[in-house]
A = this chain, B = another copy of it.
């Protein structure tokens, strides 16, 4: 079971040569997810060795250009490279029109199905679910409607310890009960405890993504206890006024959210182009939440 996050762009609205605008690639149990898609994302995917045709879910948090200007180019390239597998794109309602209009004007007839799903943004929602993963969207607070995301491994069934089960001589009818972690009562009314027959289950991992947002405590419920949290930290406290005015967060605010949500590890990005380094962000965040890393383009994190 792999679950990793590749940072494709760690910058904010104004890209720099060091920090591309926002995009992340998440591989989770053979599901391939792109979160946000700033200009140049397709090149970052190439640069960091991600196979772009593997991506089958694209999540767009909001309609600021540094989070979606690269989407139309990525979809064009998927088409030119011969894609025929459909793709699902989750985002604000305006996204579909913007993308289709640009492709139609150029006369492109896409060979694959683009399935746009509108995110409602009024409350936390499960937007995708299969037997391996769940994707949750939840509202945050910005100048325009914005969603955060949580990607979560599914709680998987218990593995039965073959030898123990064999020796017990129990009927095969017991297996579905044990797999669900339930005890089994045999025909004679005897209780067989699941915990005696199954291996310890690995805890399901989860990843939280919060960009862009002002300091916003209501989102804490949606990312409670995640193994890895990405939170925007456009500014440091010195520019707290600017953060407030633009509905962004400071590094300290991001760390406060991480602490209150009791996450295991915090990674910070979306740094304003005015900062040459993230040293001050890191210092500030670590006064509140020690296990913090400032991301750079190309970094890969295991969840």
Mark contacts of A132-150 with chain B using CB atoms, 8 A cut-off: 1 yes-contact digit, 0 otherwise. 0000000000011000000
How distant is the Cα of A213 from the Cα of B59 in the complex, in angstroms?
36
- The segment out of A65-73, A118-126, A164-172, A232-240 that lies at the interface is A65-73
Task: Tell whether, in the assembled complex, residue A63 and residue B144 are in contact, meaning their CB atoms are under 8 Å apart.
Answer: no
A17: chain B residues at CB < 8 Å are: 43, 46-47
Within 8 Å CB of A81, what residues of B?
Answer: 14
Tally of chain A residues near chain B (CB < 8 A): 36
- Contact at B13–A80, with CB atoms within 8 Å? yes
Q: Check: A36 CB closer than 8 A to any chain B CB.
A: no
Considering the chains assembled together, what is the distance between the CA atoms of A105 and B62 in angstroms?
Answer: 10
Contact with B along A25-65 (1 / 0, CB 8 A): 00000000000000110110011000000000000000111
Determine the distance from Cα of A39 to Cα of B76 in the docked complex, in whole angstroms: 11
Output the residue of A16, A64, A103, A105 with the most chain B CB within 10 A: A105
Q: Is the CB of A94 within 8 A of B105?
A: yes
Task: From B64, B101, B107, give the contact of A101 (CB < 8 A).
Answer: B101
User: CA of A69 to CA of B37 in the docked complex: distance in angstroms?
Assistant: 13
Distance A40 CA – B40 CA, assembled complex (angstroms): 5
What residues on B are CB-neighbors of A65 within 8 Å? 72-73, 76, 102-103, 106, 108
Using a CB-CB cutoff of 8 Å, which residues 69-89 of chain A contact chain B?
69-70, 72-73, 76-77, 80-81
Which chain B residue lies CB-closest to A14?
B80
B residues less than 8 Å from A20 (CB atoms) = 43
Contact B73 A72 (CB under 8 A): no
B-chain residues with CB within 8 Å of residue A94 when the two chains form the complex: 105
Interface membership of chain A positions 3-27, coded 1 if the CB is closer than 8 angstroms to chain B and 0 otherwise: 0000000000111110010000000
How far is the CB of A257 from the nearest CB of chain B, in Å? 24
Q: Is A98 an interface residue (CB 8 A)?
A: yes
Most chain B beta-carbon neighbours within 10 Å: one of A47, A73, A107, A144: A73
Q: Of all chain B residues, which has the CB nearest A93?
A: B105
How many angstroms between the C-alpha atoms of A72 and B98 in the bound complex? 12
User: Which of B16, B70, B77 has a CB less than 8 Å from the CB of A46?
Assistant: B16
- Do residues A63 and B98 form an inter-chain contact, with CB atoms below 8 A? no
With A and B bound together, what is the CA distance between A175 and B106 in angstroms? 54
Q: A39-B39, A65-B106, A101-B101 are in contact. List 15 more A-B contacts (CB 8 A).
A: A13-B80, A14-B77, A14-B80, A17-B43, A39-B42, A39-B43, A39-B69, A65-B73, A65-B103, A69-B69, A69-B72, A69-B73, A94-B105, A97-B101, A98-B102
Pairs A–B under 8 Å by Cβ, sample size 9: A17-B43, A17-B47, A39-B39, A39-B43, A65-B106, A69-B76, A69-B102, A101-B101, A107-B143
